[in-house]
Amino acid sequence: MGQRYEAFHRRSIGDREGFWAEQAKLIDWHKPFGQVLDYSRPPFARWFIGGQTNLCHNAIDRHLATQAEKPALIYVSTETGEERVYTFAELQREVVTMAAILGSQGVGRGDRVLIYMPMVPQAVFAMLACARIGAIHSVVFGGFASNSLAARIDDATPKVIVSADAGSRGGKAIAYKPLLDEAIRLASHNPARVLMVNRGLAPMDVVAGRDLDYETLRAKYRDADVPVVWLESNEISYTLYTSGTTGQPKGVQRDVGGYAVALAASMRHIFCGNAGETYFSTSDIGWVVGHSYIVYAPLIAGMATILYEGTPIRPDAGILWQLVEKYQVSLMFSAPTAIRVLKKQDPALLTKYDTSSLRSLFLAGEPLDEPTARWITEGLGRPVIDNYWQTESGWPILGLANGVEQMSTKLGSPGVPMYGYDLHLLHEQTGEEVGANEKGVVAIMPPLPPGCMQTVWGDDERFVETYFTTIPGKMAYSTFDWGIRDDDGYYFILGRTDDVINVAGHRLGTREIEESVSHHASVAECAVIGVADSLKGQVAMAFVVLKDAAAAADPAEAARLEREILAVVDRQLGAVARPVRAHFVTALPKTRSGKVLRRAIQAVCEHRDPGDLTTIEDVAALDGVRKAVVGSDG
Q: Summarize as ranges the residues that interact with ligand AMP (CB under 6 A).
A: 242, 288, 364-368, 386-388, 390-391, 414, 479, 481, 493, 496, 502, 507
Report the distance separating Cα 79 and Cα 76, nearest Å. 9
Q: Least distance from C-beta 283 to ligand AMP, angstroms?
A: 10
Q: Least distance from C-beta 551 to ligand AMP, angstroms?
A: 36
Which of 350, 410, 349 is CA-nearest to residue 382?
A: 350
Select 138 or 391, whichever has its Cβ closest to ligand AMP: 391
Report the distance separating Cα 414 and Cα 57, nearest Å. 33
Q: Least distance from C-beta 366 to ligand AMP, angstroms?
A: 5
Select 298 or 414, whichever has its Cβ closest to ligand AMP: 414
What residues pair up with 245 in beta bridges, in sequence order? none
Select 577 or 622, whichever has its Cβ closest to ligand AMP: 577
The closest residue (CB) to ligand AMP is 507
**What DSSP element (H or E) covers 478?**
strand 477-485
State the CB neighbour count (10 A cutoff) for residue 567: 12
Select 98 or 452, whichever has its Cβ closest to ligand AMP: 452
Contacts of 20 (CB under 8 A, 6+ apart): 12, 36, 37, 47, 48, 261, 420, 449, 450
Select 244 or 624, whichever has its Cβ closest to ligand AMP: 244
Which of 527, 193, 43, 24 is CA-nearest to residue 34?
A: 24
Q: Least distance from C-beta 249 to ligand AMP, angstroms?
A: 11
Which of 584, 601, 517 is CA-nearest to residue 549?
A: 584
Select 130 or 453, whichever has its Cβ closest to ligand AMP: 453
Q: Least distance from C-beta 398 to ligand AMP, angstroms?
A: 7
Report the distance separating Cα 317 and Cα 116, nearest Å. 28
Select 19 or 492, whichever has its Cβ closest to ligand AMP: 492
CB 199 within 8 Å of CB 215:
no
Q: Least distance from C-beta 499 to ligand AMP, angstroms?
A: 12
Select 46 or 250, whichever has its Cβ closest to ligand AMP: 250
Q: Least distance from C-beta 90 to ligand AMP, angstroms?
A: 31
Select 125 or 388, whichever has its Cβ closest to ligand AMP: 388
Longest Cα–Cα distance in the chain: 73
State the CB neighbour count (10 A cutoff) for residue 77: 19
Report the distance separating Cα 282 and Cα 266, nearest Å. 18
Q: Least distance from C-beta 388 to ligand AMP, angstroms?
A: 4
Report the distance separating Cα 539 and Cα 523, nearest Å. 21
93 three-state secondary structure:
helix
Contacts of 435 (CB under 8 A, 6+ apart): none
Q: Least distance from C-beta 497 to ligand AMP, angstroms?
A: 9
